[in-house]
């Protein structure tokens, strides 16, 4: 959101995913070639799940509290 509005980012990701699928080129390689300002950490395995684990734990805790 800091560098690109969400709808435009979703469109760009969709186009890059289609190119990766069609060409067999790894998505990180295509993304870095097309977006030079992209942080290297975007594709780092340690950050790949972002907030998903915390959100899953919060959901489970809320479900248990019911």
Tens of pLDDT, residue by residue over 17-45, are: 999 999 999 999 999 999 988 888 888 88
Say if residue 59's pLDDT is above 70.
Answer: yes
Say if residue 1's pLDDT is above 80.
Answer: no
pTM: 0.63
Say if residue 48's pLDDT is above 90.
Answer: no
CB atoms inside a 10 Å sphere around CB 28: 15
Say if residue 47's pLDDT is above 80.
Answer: no
Q: Which two tokens stand for residue 33?
A: 């070639």
| pLDDT value, residue 38 | 86
Among 54, 55, 33, smallest CA distance to 43 is for: 33
| Residues near 12 by beta carbon (within 8 Å), at least 6 away in sequence | 4, 34, 35
């Amino acid at each position: 959101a800091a560098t690109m509005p969400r709808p435009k980012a979703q469109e760009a990701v969709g186009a890059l995913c289609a190119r990766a699928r069609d060409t067999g080129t790894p998505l990180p390689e295509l993304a870095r070639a097309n977006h030079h300002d992209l942080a290297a950490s975007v594709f780092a395995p340690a950050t790949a799940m972002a907030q998903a684990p915390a959100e899953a734990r919060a959901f489970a805790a809320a479900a248990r509290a019911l």
